[in-house]
Amino acid sequence: MNRQITLDRLQELKLAGMERLYRSMAGLQPDEQPTIDEFMARLVEAEHLERTLKRMQILTRQSKLRYDATLEQIHCSRERNFTRDQQLALSDGTFILRAENILITGATGAGKSFLACAIGRQACTLGYKTIYLPMNRFLERIAMAKVQGTWLKLLDYLQKMQLIIFDDFGMQPLTDDTRLAMLQILEDRYGQKATVVASQLPVDKWHVYINQPTLADAICDRLSAKAIRIDLKGESLRKKI
């Protein structure tokens, strides 16, 4: 079998990583050729990297993150109340394995959404299914699912997400249906999946915002029982743009 047939077969089998490496090595001189074991190892590693990158790109696209942010872009300082140690602690994704929540609070322009998206992008890079949900759109989605009879389907979809990001929590009024929906989602995730919540409201004001004592107790308990709290400080970052 000649070289071109091999390349065609790799292309047919959608082994893009292997194909690319084989092409690059095809022009090597005989004394530069690797051993068969080394050659196979490099082919397999090239395909593994190709698939890992492709999965990361798919997960990032499907997450619908608002900002193309990375943790390396987050400014760490005492003034912001966000340290390099906190940044590093988020970068390995172990909070997802531990099913811990992250509660991000701060004033308008403090960088809450940007940080939440950076956490989401890192989760995608690590191979975790992630979805970004602005609360106004999400509440509309709940209402639509209730009307169309697709609520259980939406619940199943969200349960498959290893990380959910709720942004602008506290900006939109909640109805009885949306309170119950939030509780059901958080109950399904409690102790199993991680959730990030970004809000202008301090955590101690969330109970008042939910505005139904029994449900507020349950929702706040499931959000804060196993949670990392980040309270961003300082002037609005938008003023610096």
Domains (range + CATH), the chain: 3-62 (no CATH), 65-240 (3.40.50.300)
Query: What is the percentage of the chain residues whose pLDDT exceeds 70?
Result: 97
Assigned token pair, 170: 């506290």
Distance of alpha carbon 140 from the chain centroid:
21
- Specify the pLDDT at position 153: 96
pLDDT given for residue 100 in this prediction: 96
What pLDDT was estimated at residue 61?
A: 97
Please state the φ and ψ torsions of residue 73, each to the nearest 5 degrees: -85, -10
**What is the Cα gyration radius of the chain?**
23
| 186 contacts 222 by C-beta, under 8 angstroms | yes
Q: Does residue 41 surpass a pLDDT of 90?
A: no
Helices H / strands E in the chain, number of each = 11, 5
pLDDT at residue 1 greater than cutoff 60: no
pLDDT for position 123: 97
**Within a 13 Å sphere around the CA of 49, how many CA atoms are in the beta-carbon half?**
11
CA trace torsion 26, 27, 31, 33 (10° rounding): -20
**Could you tell me the strand order of the sheet in which 130-134 lies?**
130-134, 163-167, 194-199, 101-105, 227-231
Q: SS3 of 101, please?
A: strand
> What is the pLDDT at residue 69?
96
d(CA 161, CA 127): 11
Q: What is the DSSP string of 189-239?
A: HTTTSEEEEEESS-GGGHHHHH--HHHHHHHHHHHHTTEEEEE--SS-GGG
Determine the Cα–Cα distance for residues 98 and 81; give it in Å rounded to an integer. 24
pLDDT average, residue stretch 37-50: 84
Per-chain mean pLDDT for the chain: 91
Task: Name the token pair of 94.
Answer: 């172990």
